[in-house]
Amino acid sequence: MTIERPGAVKARGNPVTLIGPEIKVGQKAPDFTAVGQGFKPVSLKDFQGKVKVLLSVPSLDTQVCSTETKKFNEMAATLPRDVQIAVISMDLPFAQARWCGANGVDKVLTASDFRDRQFGEAYGVRIKETGLLARAVFVVDKNDVVRYVEYVPDIVQEPNYEAVRKAVQALAGG
């Protein structure tokens, strides 16, 4: 049975329906498979033993997503090696690679949910009306327990970078 959450977030002030459960702090992070560079599978298991920052964004080719991804790329350069930041969108992997190359983004991993939509539905961020992913941040500890969740209220807003940094530093010891 598909879970629908009408009005869970907004898109430019208009309520939208999110597909999938609302992820809560303290729960086990759902596994997923997305498509990485070279169309290689990327899953939560690939980051075992690391603190994971999973960023859900609508499209790297939009201003807010672009700004957010660049800021997290800068943040990644200052975090311990045991932290992995992954940006997941519906953009195709070669579009993500092109965008990263054009914007000097090389510290975060990008993955696409276009093929199976596992991430969007597992983390409750797939927008029913558009098929895109809502803007959200999930910080997952080394044991795959969710320690921070932010479903950004309107997808045109940026996440709380400082709260994410504090959550990561508490888990990574830095």
Hey, where are the domains in the chain? 17-172
Confidence of residue 8 (pLDDT cuts 50, 70, 90): very high
**What whole-number percentage of the chain has pLDDT above 90?**
97
pLDDT tens readout for residues 115-173: 999 999 999 999 999 999 999 999 999 999 999 999 999 999 999 999 999 999 999 86
Those residues with Cβ within 8 angstroms of residue 120's Cβ, 6 or more apart along the chain or in another chain: 19, 20, 56, 90, 113, 126, 133
> Residue 26 pLDDT more than 90?
yes
Provide the 3-class DSSP secondary structure of residue 5: strand
Q: What mean pLDDT is predicted for residues 48-59?
A: 97
| Structure token digits, residue 53 | 């920052």
Give the whole-angstrom CA distance, residue 87 versus residue 162: 17
In this structure, CATH architecture of domain 17-172: 3-Layer(aba) Sandwich (3.40)
Residue among 32, 51, 73, 19 nearest 147 (CA)? 51
Catalytically annotated residues: 65
pLDDT number for residue 174: 53
